[in-house]
């Protein structure tokens, strides 16, 4: 098994991981980032980010691509392999993949999180055949069709608004009696003629033949309503990508990594930032803040400040 050595290894090429790697490499450190999926993480599902200091309006995918390009120009190694386990040999940490073992003095876990599944009959069977988790990617496929969006937070409302550009009707199913989203998303959804909200309800089953044809929704009064639709999009929370971490790294009941105030985990020299971390705020500015915080602390720990 081959080996390579870096000053810092960053696991995950989402916004927090890419930003931390950039700051560390700018400081002269030899850095590698690891990503088994598409770079960008959850931000690639965002159609329009809030304008930055330059007032440019970009999508999440464009923003992530710009970070990747900047990191490539800094000479950061982007390794497209899944880290399957971490090793610890006192001051030296190891990131192990299927084909190699990589060493570093510090590891930043920025592996993010994935959208939680509904866990209902039909969801797995119709994946890619009407069940989706990316409105930006798949929305145009549902031109003049009816779709169902499940959830009540920022992601659900934002994706419902994206789908409303293409779809005849967007049925927004929420288990609660009120949204948990930012006010401007709530107001847009409430006034949009193509979005209808079904409160205090849960999707119990997805059904169809070759493609999705309907969902069964359990209502607050115990009744069941069938909604004909061509697509189902669920945004009901996140599951952390933390399964590969050793038992020495403490996680909360939901699997998110527990850190100290300094963002270090219970395994010294291993840090966690972004959506994989318990207590993460969830905004881009939170990702940038945590990336800068941990980069500064690693530089100081290495005696380079």
Cβ-Cβ contacts under 8 Å for 119 (sequence gap 6 or more): none
Same domain, 106 and 244: yes
**Domain end: 195, 217, 234, which one?**
234
**Domain end: 234, 261, 278, which one?**
234
Task: Please state, in angstroms and rounded to a whole number, the distance separating the CA atoms of residues 139 and 301.
Answer: 47
Hey, is 242 helix, strand or coil? coil
Same domain, 11 and 78: yes
Cβ-Cβ contacts under 8 Å for 205 (sequence gap 6 or more): 120, 121, 122, 215, 216
The DSSP secondary-structure symbol of 251 reads: B
Same domain, 78 and 110: yes
Same domain, 54 and 135: no
Nearest partner of 256 among 151, 87, 40, 112, judged by Cα: 112
Same domain, 109 and 250: yes
pLDDT of residue 136: 79
Q: What is each CA distance from 246 to 93, 104, 141, 304, in whole angstroms?
A: 12, 17, 41, 29
Same domain, 128 and 228: yes
Same domain, 60 and 140: no
Supply the pTM of this predicted model: 0.81
Same domain, 61 and 207: no
pLDDT of residue 118: 95
Q: Which residues pair with 146 in a beta bridge?
A: 169
Same domain, 226 and 124: yes
DSSP assignment string, 259-292: --TTSB-SSTTEEE-GGGBTT---SHHHHHHHHH
Q: Which residues of the chain have pLDDT under 50?
A: 51-55
pLDDT of residue 41: 67
pLDDT of residue 48: 57
Same domain, 292 and 144: no
**Domain end: 234, 262, 292, which one?**
234
Same domain, 263 and 124: no
pLDDT of residue 278: 96
pLDDT of residue 304: 73
Same domain, 24 and 79: yes
The total domain count for the chain is 2
Structural domain span for residue 197:
117-234
pLDDT of residue 284: 80
CATH number of the CATH domain containing 69: 3.50.50.60
């Amino acid at each position: 098994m081959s080996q390579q050595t870096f000053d810092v290894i960053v696991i995950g090429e989402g916004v927090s991981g890419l930003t931390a790697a950039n700051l560390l490499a700018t400081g002269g450190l030899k850095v590698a980032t690891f990503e088994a999926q598409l770079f960008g993480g959850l931000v690639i599902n965002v159609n329009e980010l809030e304008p930055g200091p330059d007032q440019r309006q970009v999508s999440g995918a464009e923003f992530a691509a710009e970070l990747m390009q900047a990191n490539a120009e800094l000479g950061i190694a982007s390794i497209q392999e899944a880290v399957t386990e971490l090793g610890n040999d006192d001051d030296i940490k190891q990131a192990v993949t299927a084909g190699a073992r990589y060493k570093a003095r510090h590891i930043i876990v920025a592996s993010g999180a994935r959208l939680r599944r509904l866990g209902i009959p039909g969801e797995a069977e119709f994946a890619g055949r009407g069940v989706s988790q990316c409105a930006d990617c798949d929305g145009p496929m549902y031109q003049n069709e009816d779709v169902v969006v499940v959830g009540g937070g920022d992601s659900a409302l934002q994706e419902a608004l994206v789908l409303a550009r293409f779809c005849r009707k967007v049925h927004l199913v929420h288990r609660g009696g009120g949204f948990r989203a930012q006010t401007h998303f709530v107001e847009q959804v409430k006034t949009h003629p193509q979005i209808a909200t079904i409160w205090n309800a849960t999707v119990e089953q997805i059904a169809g033949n070759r493609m999705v044809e309907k969902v069964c929704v359990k209502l607050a009064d115990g009744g069941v309503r069938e909604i004909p639709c061509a697509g189902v999009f669920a945004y009901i929370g996140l599951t952390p990508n933390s399964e590969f971490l050793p038992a020495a790294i403490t996680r909360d009941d939901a699997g998110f990594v527990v850190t100290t105030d300094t963002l270090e985990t219970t395994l010294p020299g291993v840090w966690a930032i972004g959506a994989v971390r318990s207590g993460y705020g969830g905004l881009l500015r939170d990702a940038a803040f945590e990336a800068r915080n941990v980069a500064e602390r690693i530089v100081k720990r290495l005696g380079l400040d």
